[in-house]
Structure 1
Amino acid sequence: MEQTFMKERPILPLVLSMSLPMILSMMVTSLYNIIDSYFVAKISEDAMTALSLVFPVQNLINAVTIGFSIGINAVISYHLGALEQEHADNAAALGLLLNTLHGIILTFACIGMMPFFLEMFTENKEIVDLGVRYSRIAFGFAVIISLGMAFEKIFQAVGKMSFTMFSMMCGCISNILLDPVLIFGLGPFPRMGIEGAALATGIGQTISLVIYLVIYLIKPLPVRLRFRRLNFQRNMVLKLYAIGIPATLNMALPSLLISALNVILSAYSQAYVTVLGIYYKLQTFLYLPANGIVQGMRPLVGYNYGASEHRRVQKIYRVALLLAVGIMVLGTVLCQAIPSELISLFTSGSETISAGTSALRIISIGFLASTVSVISSGALEGLGMGLPSLMISLLRYVLITIPAAFLLSRFLGASGVWHGFWISELLTAAIAYVIYHRAVRRQA
C-alpha cells in the first residue's frame, strides 16, 4: 500500500518504469487503430471516408470520458502524496460514479446527432449510411468506455502501470483478432461489414473493463471504492471538474480541428478529406506512445507536488520531455522516408496516395516541436492546473492551426492546410514553454 517510491526512487528509472508499460500498451493501441482502418479500407474507400467523418464524434466520447478520468487521476495522486487517504478514496468512488453518468448521456446524444453531423460534410448517401451504421454500435459502448477509463486512471494514480498495460493490451489484441472475423464473416460468424468493426471495438473495450474489475476484486489497491461511505463534498466535485473539464476540452479540441479542416479540404477534393483521416490514424502511432509518457509522468508529478517536492517535479518534466523527443525523431524519419508506403496501407487510389505523400512530409516537420506542448500540457494536468493546460491546447488546435490552415489554403490550395500544422506546432511550443514555467513558478 506504500506509495513513497514515487518520491524516493531515482527519476529516470522511475519515469521509465511508470511510462514503458504505458508506451507498450499505447503502441499496441496504435497498431489496433491502423489494423482497424486497414480492414475497413478493404470494404471500400467510402467506408474509410465514413470512418474518417465519424472519428471526431468518436474522439469526443473519448475526450469526455478520458478527460474527466484525468481529473480523477490527478486528485487521487495529490491526496496520496499529501497522506490524505480518505480524500483519495472519496475521489475514486465519486469520480467513477460521475463518469458513468457521462457515458449514459453521451450514448444517447451522439447516436442521435450522427445523421445530421455526417450530412454536414458529405452528400454521398452511401457514406452517411455507413457512418450511421458504424456509430450506432460503437457509441452504444460509451458507458463501458467511461467505466474502463475511470478504472484505468485509478490504477495509474497508484502506480499500477503493469495492470493497466495488461488490461489495455488484452482489449486491443481482442479487437485486432475480431476485426477480420466480424467484418468479413470468417468461420461460423456472419459477414457484418463496417458494423463488425464497431462491434469488435466494443467487445475489446468490454474485455478491458472486466479485467480491471477482476484485478480490483482480487488484489486490493491503495485506494478503495467505498460507495457506502461516499461523500458528495462540494469541494471534491469542484476539484474533479476543475481538472476534468479542461482535460476534456484538451482532448475534444482535435475533433473541432478535424471538423474545421474537413470543411476546408472538402472544397478541393474528397480525397483530401480521406488523407486527413488517414493521417490521424497514422499519427496515433506517435502521439499515443508520447501520451504513454504523459500517463506515466502525471501521477508522479501529482504525488510529488502534493508532497511539496517541487525540484523533483521539474526533473520529472525534463526527463519526460527527452523521452518524447526520441519518439518524435523516429516518427519524423519515417514520414520523410516512406510516406507513400504509409498512406498506401489504407488506400489504393493514386490521387489519395499522391496527396497523402505530400501531406505527411509537410506535417511531420512539426513533430519535434510538438513535444514541448504535449509534455507541458500533461504536466500541468498532473499539477492540477487545468486552465493553463487548456490554453496550450487551444493554441495548438484552434487559435493558431485553423486560421493558419484557412489563410494558407487561399494561397497554396489544400497543401496550405498541411503547412498550417507545422507552423502551429512551432508557435505553440514557444508559448507552451513560457506558460508552463510561469505557472510552476507561481505555485512553487
Structure 2
Amino acid sequence: MVTDMRTGNPTKLILKFAFPMLIGNIFQQLYNMVDSVIVGKFIGKNALAAVGSSFSLMNFVTVLIIGLCLGSSVVVSQYFGAEDYTNLKRVVSTSFIFTFILTMILSISTFIFTKPLLRLIQTPEEILDGSTYYLKIVFAGLIFTFLYNMAASILRALGNSKTPLYFLIVASLVNIVLDLLFILKLKMGVEGAAYATIISQAVSSILCLLYALLKVPMLRMSPKEFVFDRTLFPVIAKYSLLTCMQQSIMATGMVAVQGIVNTFGSDVIAGYAAAVKVDSLAYLPVQDFGNAFSTYVAQNIGAGKIDRVKQGLRSAVRTVFIFCVIISTGILLSSKQLMTIFVDPSEVKVIQTGIDYITTVGIFYMLIGFLFLYYGFFRGVGNLTMSMKLTVVSLGIRVLMSYILSSFPSIGPKGIWWSIPLGWIIADAIGFIAYKSGKWERDVSKI
C-alpha cells in the first residue's frame, strides 16, 4: 500500500501518515525504556548509568545508518511523485548496496574501538566494563539496524508508514519478553539487555525486508534490475551523506554533552539517562510529524506543486503548536512520577537531577517542534545543506553553552539543561529567515 500526498487535505494526509510512525517509535522507545527500567530497578543505579552512558555512542552510530537511509528515501519519494518507477527501482538498489557497505565498515570499526570511545567521553571506571560489554553486542548487530531502516524508509517514502509499525510492535514485544528472561531469569545483567535489543531488531528487519520485496510490486526486482547505478549514485550519495552528516552532527553533539554530564558522577549520569528517555518519548509526535512532512514536501516537489507545499507548511505549524502545548503541560505536571518509573524513590539525587532536566527542557518543546518542521521542509525540497546548518547551529550552541554554563559551580549540570533550548531558538530563527527569503523556491524552479 502506498499513499499519494499530491492531492487531498494536507493536515489529514500528514497526520494519517505520521500516526503509524509515531506509534512505531513509541513502541521503540518503550522497549528502550524497558531496558532502563529493568536495569535501574533490578540491577542498580550503576547499571543504569552504564546503559545510559552507552546510549549516546549507540545513538551516534545508529543515526548514521538512519541518516543514510533517510537521505536516499527522499530521492525515492521524488521519483515516486514524478511517476518514474524505472529509476525508482535503480535508486533503491543503488542505495541498498551503498549503505550496506558503509554499515559493515561502521560495525567492524566501532566493535574494535568500543572501550577507547567510551574513555574518550570520560566514562567513569566503575561503569566502564558494563558499558563496554553492552556496546560491543549492539555494534555487532548493526546489520539488523541497517536492514530495518532501509526497508522502512523506502516503504515510508512510498507513503506506507503502517507496515513498518506492525513489525516494530512485534519487535518491541519480543524485546520486552527477552529483557525479562535475560535480566530477571538468567541474570545476564546489562549484556542481557543488549542481546534482547539486537534479537528484536533482527526480527523487525527480516519481517520488514521480506514484506517490501514480496508485497510491493514496484520494489520487486530481477537480478538484472538490482544494480549499482553510477549515474544516479551522485544524487543518492549527496542526499544520503548530507542527511547522514546532519544526523551525525546531532549525535556528536549528544556525545559531547554526555561527556560533560559524565564529569558529574554516577548519580547525575543515571538521572540524565532516565530523563533523556522521557524527553525522547515526549517530543516523538513532532519529530515524526516533521519526518512525515518531509515525505509530503518531496512528493509535491516531484510533482511541481509549490503552492501545495506552502499550504502544507502553514497547516503543519498550527498542528505542531497544538501538539507541543499539550505535551509540555503533561510533562511538567508529571515529572516526578515519570522519574520514579526508572529508579527507586530512595535515590533522591538521581530523581532530582531528572526532574531538573525535564522541567527545564519541557517548557520549550514548541521550539524543537518547529525545528523538526524546518528539518523536514528543507530535506523535502532538496536543500540538505540548510537542514545540516540548522543542526550545526542547534547542537553547536548546546555543546558550547553546556561547557561554559556547567563550569560555574553555582550552576553545575543545570547549565547543560538550559543550553538545549538556547540552541533550539537560534536554529529556529535561522530556519524562519531561510524560508521567508524564498531562495528554496527559486532553487526548486530550476530543477
TM-score by length of 2: 0.92
Question: What corresponds to 1:115 in structure 2?
Answer: 115
Other-structure match for 2:412: 413
Name the SS for the 2:219 alignment partner: coil
Q: Distance in 1 between matches of 2:18 and 2:124?
A: 43
Q: Determine the structure 2 residue equivalent to 1:430.
A: 429
- In structure 1, C-alpha distance between the alignment counterparts of 2:275 and 2:37, rounded to whole Å: 13
Q: Which residue of 2 aligns with 1:13?
A: 12
The farther-off stretch of 292-301 and 160-169 is: 292-301
Q: Which runs of 5+ in 1 are unaligned?
A: none
Distance in 2 separating the partners of 1:31 and 1:75 = 31
Q: Within 5 Å, which residues of 2 pair with 1:23-102?
A: 23-41=22-40, 42-102=42-102
After TM superposition, list the pairs within 5 Å mapping 1:252-267 onto structure 2: 252-267=248-263
Gaps of at least 5 residues in structure 2 are none
Cα separation, partners in 2 of 1:328 and 1:30, compared to 1, 3 Å: farther
1:361 to 359, 362, 367: 359
Match of 1:248 among 244, 247, 260: 244
Number of the residue aligned with 1:169: 169
Are 1:159 and 2:159 counterparts? yes
Q: After superposition, give the CA deviation of every residue in 1:81-107 in whole Å (9 maximum; x if it has no partner).
A: 122221111011111122211221121
**Paired residues for 1:15-414 under 5 Å:** 15-41=14-40, 42-122=42-122, 124-185=124-185, 190-348=186-344, 349-398=347-396, 400-411=397-408, 412-414=411-413
Matched residue type, 2:360: I
TM-fit CA distance, 1:124: 4.2
**Contact 2:60/2:252 (<8 A) preserved:** no
Secondary structure of the residue aligned to 1:7 is coil
Paired AA for residue 105 in structure 1: I
- Report the Cα distance in structure 2 between the residues aligned to 1:2 and 1:290, rounded to whole angstroms: 22
Q: Tell me the CA shift for residue 226 of structure 1.
A: 4.7
Distance 1:86 1:123 in 2: 50
For residues 30-75 of structure 1, the C-alpha deviation after alignment (integer angstroms, 9 at most, x for no partner) is 2222222111213121111111221122112211211011122100
CA contact (8 A) 1:92 1:224 kept: no
Q: State the percentage of identical aligned residues.
A: 21
2:220 partner SS: coil
Q: Which moved more, 1:322-331 or 1:163-172?
A: 322-331
Instruction: For 1:79, give the aligned amino acid.
Output: Y
Alpha-carbon distance in 1 for matches of 2:400, 2:213:
50
Post-superposition shift, 1:416? 1.5
Question: 1:245 & 1:199 partners in 2: Cα distance?
Answer: 30
Cα distance in 1 for residues equivalent to 2:404 and 2:46: 29
Deviation track 1:403-424 (CA, whole Å, cap 9, x = no partner) reads 2222222442221111111222
CA distance in 2, matches of 1:113, 1:362: 35
> Equivalent residue of 1:63, what SS?
helix
Question: Which stretch of structure 1 is more off in the superposition, 150-159 or 345-354?
Answer: 345-354
Report the residue type matching 2:391 in the other structure. S
- Tell me if structure 1 keeps the 8 A contact 2:212–2:219: no
Q: Is the 8 A contact 1:71 1:247 kept in 2?
A: yes
Contact 1:290 1:324 in 2 (8 A): yes
**CA shift in 2, pair 1:279/1:227, >3 Å:** farther
| Counterparts of 1:126 and 1:409, CA distance in 2 | 23
Question: How far 1:297 moved relative to its partner?
Answer: 2.1
C-alpha contact 1:366 1:421 (8 A) present in aligned 2: no
Q: 1:328 to 1:176 in 2, by over 3 A?
A: farther
Aligned-pair CA distance for 1:142: 0.4
CA offsets 1:381-427 (integer angstroms, 9 cap, x no match): 122221110001111112x1112222222442221111111222222
How far apart are the structure 1 equivalents of 2:160 and 2:154? 9
Is the 1:37–1:346 Cα contact (8 Å) retained in structure 2?
yes
Q: Is the 8 A contact 1:30 1:288 kept in 2?
A: no
One-letter code of the match for 2:18? S
**CA shift in 2, pair 1:262/1:12, >3 Å:** closer
User: Aligned in 2, Cα 1:241/1:436: closer, same or farther, shift over 3 Å?
Assistant: farther
Which shifted more, 221-230 or 162-171? 221-230
Q: Quick one: which amino acid aligns to residue 70 of structure 2?
A: I
**Contact 1:250-1:393 at 8 Å conserved across structures:** yes
Structure 1 193/72 Cα, relative in aligned 2: closer, same or farther at 3 Å? Answer: same
Deviation at 1:122, TM superposition (A): 4.5
Q: Normalising to structure 1: TM-score of the pair?
A: 0.92
The CA distance in 2 between the partners of 1:268 and 1:193, in whole Å, is 24
Aligned residues between the structures: 438
Contact 1:156 1:295 in 2 (8 A): no
Q: CA deviation at 1:295?
A: 3.0
Post-superposition Cα deviations, 1:341-367, rounded to whole Å, max 9, x if no partner, equal 222222232111122212221122221
Mapped to 1, the partners of 2:216 and 2:258 lie a distance apart of 47
Q: Return the alpha-carbon distance in structure 2 between the equivalents of residues 415 and 85 of structure 1.
A: 52
Report the residue type matching 2:311 in the other structure: K
Q: Is the 8 A contact 1:175 1:203 kept in 2?
A: yes
Using the alignment, how far apart are the partners of 2:319 and 2:182 within structure 1?
38
Name the aligned partner's letter for residue 391 of structure 1. K
